[in-house]
Amino acid sequence: MKTFDAIKADLASGAATCVQVTRQYLDAIERQKDLNAFLAVFPERTLSQADLIDKKIAAGTAGPLAGMVIAVKDVICMQNERVSCGSKILKNFISLYDATVIRRLQDADALLIGKCNMDEFAMGSSTENSAFGRVKLPQDRDRVPGGSSGGSAVAVTSGMSTASLGSDTGGSIRQPAAFCGICGLKPTYGRVSRYGLVAYASSFDSIGPFALTVKDIASVLQVIAGYDPKDSTSADIPIPDYNSSLTRNVRGLRIGLPKEYFGSALNEEIKSSVEKSIDILRKNGAIIKEVSLPHTEYTIAAYYILATAEASSNLARFDGARYGYRSDDADTLSAMYVKSRSEGFGPEVKRRIMLGTYVLSSGYYDAYYRKGQKVRRLIQQDFFEAFNEVDCLITPTSPTTSFKAGEKMDDPLQMYLSDIYTTSANLAGIPGISIPCGNDSKGLPIGLQIMGPQFGEPLILRIADFLEHQK
C-alpha cells in the first residue's frame, strides 16, 4: 500500500507511470475479489485515462491528483456507469450524468477505478445489507468492515485504491474507517456538493474521502470541496488550503472531552487507547478539558426518527414506474407499485421506510417528527456551546471494534448503537474525522474521532495529522 506522496515520488523519478500504477491496483482488486469490495471495475476506461495523464505529466500540465487512484461508493453518480446503491431496485440503472465530486476529481486528473459495495441505500453499519453480498474485513474475513461505506473503506485498507469516496449520513465514513484502520472524513454539511449523490436523508448526507493518511484526505478534500450552484445546500464559503494547516503543532489548542462519550458502554481497550492519544496531546502543549453535551442520550432516537422520515420521502421515487426494477408479476397499477417495492427493497430499507412513514403520519407527526426536530436543535446547541469553551472535541469513533458477520443482524437496535458516537455530528452539521488509534487485544483496529465547529476542517485535520505522526 502506497500513499499519494510515495506514488508522486515514483512518477516524478520515472520509477513508475500512471499506467503501471493503475495496473497494480487492478491486479490487487483481482487478487482480492473475495472481499466483495467492488460492484464494478473500469479497467479500460481507467487505463486509457492513465495514459492521457502520463502525457500530461510529461508536458507539465497534470492536475493536483495525477496518479491518485480513487474508488467511488456506488451511491455517487458517474455518467454512463451503473449506480445501484447496493439495491436490487437499481441493479441495472445507468447514470445519465456525473456527480459534481466526480467532475472535480476528473478535472484534477484523479483515476476513478470502480464503484464500491455498500449497505443498500446507505442504510446500515456493517455492509451486510447489500443486495450483492456482504463486504469482508481484510484483517478477519469473518468480521464486518463497518458501514454503510464498507466497500470504500476496504478498497483503501487492502491496497485496491489510493483513496476512495464514501457518504456519511450517521457515521458511514467514520465508523468503517475505524473498523478498517484508516482515515475517514465527514466534512461540514454544505462543504462538499451533494449533487449526484443518491439521497438517503438529505439534511444529513455528506460526501467525504477515505485514505491511508491525513495528508491524502486533505488533498482529496481540497479538490472536492467548494460551492456548487447545482446543490441548494452548498455553502458559498472560501476553501482554505487544507494541506497548509498540517503544521504538526497542537500547543495551546483547547481540546474537549465530552464526558457522555466515555461512559460504561465504551469498550475498555478503546477507552485506554483513546486516552493514550489524549496524553500525547497534553504532553505537547494542548489544553485538555472535560465538557458536557447533555443531550447526547437522545442522539440515536432523534437520528432514527428524522433520517427515516427523510428516507421515506426520498425513496418514494423508486416505484417501478419510471426507472429501476419493475415486478413482472402485477396486473394492476397498484399491484405494480406494491410488488416492485416489496421485491426491489431489502429488509433494512423496508424497515426504515415504514418507520419514517409512521413518524410522518397523521396523528404522529407532532409526537415524533416535530419533537425530533426540536431535539436536533438542542443537540446542535450543545455543540455550539461546547465550541465556545474548546476548539475541538475528541471521542472514540465506535463503542466497539469490528464485530462478527451476522452478530447484530437480528437485533436492529444493537446495530444502530454502533453509530452512537457518530450520529451527533450529522445532527449538528459539523465535521468529524476518524483516524487509527492502535489495536485491541484481537489485533482489530481502534478509531479515534475528532469533531470541530462548522467549517473547522483545517483544525481537525491539523490535530489528526499531528497524532498520525506520533506513532
The helix (H) or strand (E) run that includes residue 436 is strand 432-439
CA gap 82, 96 in Å, rounded = 9
For residue 188, give the 3-state DSSP assignment: coil
pLDDT band at 413 (very low <50, low <70, confident <90, very high): confident
Q: Note the pLDDT tens digit of each residue in 273-297.
A: 999 999 999 999 999 999 999 999 9
For residue 279, give the 3-state DSSP assignment: helix
From residue 165, how far is each of 70, 192, 209, 225, 231 by CA, in Å?
A: 7, 12, 5, 13, 18
Q: Note the pLDDT tens digit of each residue in 29-67.
A: 999 999 999 999 999 999 999 999 999 999 999 999 999
| pLDDT at 454 exceeding the cut of 80 | yes
Residue 202's pLDDT is what?
98
| pLDDT at 206 exceeding the cut of 80 | yes
Residue 453's pLDDT is what?
98
CA gap 12, 164 in Å, rounded = 23
| pLDDT at 471 exceeding the cut of 80 | no
Least confident of 20-24, 195-199, 296-300, 412-416: 412-416
From residue 41, how far is each of 81, 188, 214, 404 by CA, in Å?
A: 10, 30, 26, 27
Residue 114's pLDDT is what?
98
CA gap 218, 76 in Å, rounded = 20
From residue 388, how far is each of 191, 257, 268 by CA, in Å?
A: 22, 14, 30
Residue 353's pLDDT is what?
97
Using a pLDDT cut of 90, give the percent of the chain over it.
96
Among 268, 250, 231, CA closest to 460: 250
Among 155, 167, 170, 46, CA closest to 110: 46
| pLDDT at 264 exceeding the cut of 90 | no
Residue 412's pLDDT is what?
86
CA gap 285, 152 in Å, rounded = 35
- How confident is the model over 195-216, as a mean pLDDT? 98
The catalytic residue positions are 73, 148, 172
Residue 268's pLDDT is what?
95
| pLDDT at 435 exceeding the cut of 90 | yes
Contacts of 458 (CB under 8 A, 6+ apart): 240, 242, 245
Between residues 84 and 414, the one the model is more confident about: 84
Contacts of 382 (CB under 8 A, 6+ apart): 292, 293, 294, 295, 296, 428
Contacts of 329 (CB under 8 A, 6+ apart): 339
Cite the DSSP H helix spans in 258-346.
268-283, 299-314, 333-344
Among 461, 266, 298, 318, CA closest to 374: 298
Beta pairing, strands 206-211 & 392-396: unpaired
Residue 312's pLDDT is what?
97
Contacts of 320 (CB under 8 A, 6+ apart): 326, 327, 336, 337, 339, 340, 341, 344
Residue with grid cell 503544521, as numbered in its chain: 247
Name the CA dihedral angle for 30, 35, 40, 46, rounded to a multiple of 10 degrees.
-50
Average confidence score pLDDT of the chain: 97
Residue 168's pLDDT is what?
98
Cell numbers at 209, concatenated: 474521502
- How confident is the model over 23-29, as a mean pLDDT? 98
Cell numbers at 309, concatenated: 422520515
Q: Note the pLDDT tens digit of each residue in 312-361.
A: 999 999 999 989 999 999 999 999 999 999 999 999 999 999 999 999 99
Domains annotated for the chain, with CATH where assigned, are 4-245 (3.90.1300.10)
Cβ–Cβ contacts within 10 Å for residue 292, how many? 14
Residue 265's pLDDT is what?
82
Among 231, 149, 249, CA closest to 462: 249
Phi, psi (degrees; rounded to nearest 5) at 439? -135, 155
The residue type found at 257 is L
Angle at 64 between CA 21 and CA 239, to 5 degrees: 140
Residue 417's pLDDT is what?
87
| pLDDT at 137 exceeding the cut of 90 | yes
From residue 266, how far is each of 123, 259, 269, 345, 417 by CA, in Å?
A: 23, 12, 9, 34, 11
Residue 427's pLDDT is what?
98
Q: Note the pLDDT tens digit of each residue in 366-386.
A: 999 999 999 999 999 999 999
| pLDDT at 190 exceeding the cut of 80 | yes
pLDDT band at 364 (very low <50, low <70, confident <90, very high): very high
